[in-house]
Structure 1
Amino acid sequence: MTTRATPLIDNDLGNRMIKVDHAGEHGAICIYSGQLFMARVFARDKVDELKEFLSHERRHRAVFQAELRRRGYRRCRSYWLCGLGGLVLGLITGLCGRKAIVATTVAVESVVLRHLAHQLHTLRDIDPLAVAAIATIVEEEQHHHDHSAAQIERDDPWFRALAPVVTAWTEAVIWMGMRS
C-alpha cells in the first residue's frame, strides 16, 4: 500500500505576501517621489509620466493596506526601510536623468512582475482574497515596465549599470521582507 503525501500548506503565506507587497508599494512610491523631485530639474520630460506612475503606486499601496486591515494584520517591519531605500534610489537615479529613471523602472518592475506572478500561482488555491488583491495591480505594473522598456535599449550603459544592482536589491528586499 502506498500513501500519498499531502502538500504542506502555509496558512500564513498570503498574509506575509500581502505585508511584503504593501511595503514594496511604499518603496515604489518613494522611488517615484524621489525621481519626480529630481526630474523637475534634470528630466522635465519625465514629470507627467512619473506623476501617473506615482498615482498608480499610491492606489496599489491602498489596496494592500485595506487587505491588511481586513485580515487584522499590521504592516511589515521592513515598511520604513523600503521607503527610505526607495527614496534614496529615486533621488540618485532622478539626479542622473532620464535614462537612469527609465532603467530603474524596468529593473524594479521586472522583479515585481515575476514576484506577483509567483504569488498568484502559489496562492491561487489557498488564499483567493490575496489573489484578488494582487491581481488588481498587475496590469498597471506591466504598463510601467513596458512603457519604460520601450524607452531604453538593453545595451544602453545606464541599463547595463543599473539593472543588475537594482534587480539584486529589489529581490533582496523582498526576500528579507518575507522572513520578517
Structure 2
Amino acid sequence: MEVATQSAATDLGGRIIKVNHAGEHGAIAIYTGQILLARLTAPRLVDELREFRSHEQRHRAIFGAELERRGRRRCRSYWLCGMGGFVLGAVTGLCGSAAISATTTAVESVVLRHLVHQLEVLQGHDPAAVAAISSIVAEEQQHHDQALEHVQAGTFWPRVLGPIVSSSTEAVIWLGMRL
C-alpha cells in the first residue's frame, strides 16, 4: 500500500511540475508582452519587468530540468500558456503601469496559493518536486509584493483585471492538470 501511495504522489508531482513548467512559460510570455509595450506606456517599470522575466526564465529551467530527470514531456498546455500569456501581457502593457501591476498581482496571488498547496500535498512524498517548487516561492512572492506596491486600491484596473486574470489563471492551471 505504501508503494502505491508513493507512486501516486510521484505521479501527481510529475503532473504538477509539468503544469508549473507551462505556467512559467506563460509568465515569461506575459512579461515579454508587457516589456514590449511598457517601453511606451510605463517606461519606469521596464527594468523591473525584465528582472521578473529573468526569474521566470530560471523557474522554467528548474521545472524543465525536473521534467527531463523524470523522463516526462512538457504539458500539452505549454504553447497555449505562451500565446495566451503574450496576448495578456501585450494588452495590459498597452494599458499602462496600473494594468501591468494589477495583472502581476492577480497572477502571482493565484500562483502563490497553488505553490503553497502543492508543497503541502507533496511534502514527504516527492522530495524532488518539493525542492523544485520551494526554490521559486520567494521570487514569486517578491513579484507579487513589488507589483502590489504599484497598485492603487480602488482604481479601475485592479477591480476589472483582478477577477478576470485570477479566474483565467485558475482555469489554465485546471486545464493543464487534466491535459
Residue 127 of structure 1 corresponds to which residue in structure 2?
126
Structure 1 stretches of 4+ with a deviation exceeding 2 A read 8-11
Distance (whole Å) between structure 2 residues aligned to residue 154 and residue 122 of structure 1 = 34
1:64 is aligned to 63
Count of matched residue pairs = 175
Number of the residue aligned with 1:77: 76
1:30-45 alignment runs, 5 A limit: 30-45=29-44
**C-alpha offsets along residues 86-142 of structure 1, whole Å, 9 cap, x if unaligned?**
000000000000000000000000000000000000000210100000000000000
1:176 alignment counterpart: 175
Match for 2:27: what amino acid?
A: A
- Alpha carbon RMSD of aligned pairs, Å? 1.3
Report the Cα distance in structure 1 between the residues aligned to 2:153 and 2:52, rounded to whole angstroms: 22
Which residue pairs with 2:158 in the alignment?
A: 159
Note the alpha carbon deviations across 1:70-91, whole angstroms, 9 max, x for none: 0000000000000000000000
User: Is 1:138 matched up with 2:141?
Assistant: no
Tell me if 1:16 matches 2:15. yes
Q: Report the CA distance between 1:34 and its aligned residue.
A: 0.2
Structure 2: which 5+ runs fail to align?
none
Work out the percentage of aligned pairs sharing the same amino acid.
63
SS of the residue aligned with 1:150?
Answer: helix
C-alpha distance in structure 2 between counterparts of 1:111 and 1:16, whole Å: 18
Which amino acid in structure 1 is aligned with residue 30 of structure 2? I
How far apart, in 1, do the equivalents of 2:152 and 2:36 lie? 25
Tell me the CA shift for residue 35 of structure 1.
Answer: 0.1
Q: What amino acid is aligned across from residue 15 of structure 1 in structure 2?
A: G
Report the CA distance between 1:27 and its aligned residue.
0.1
The AA in structure 2 aligned to 1:136 is S
Deviation at 1:154, TM superposition (A): 3.3
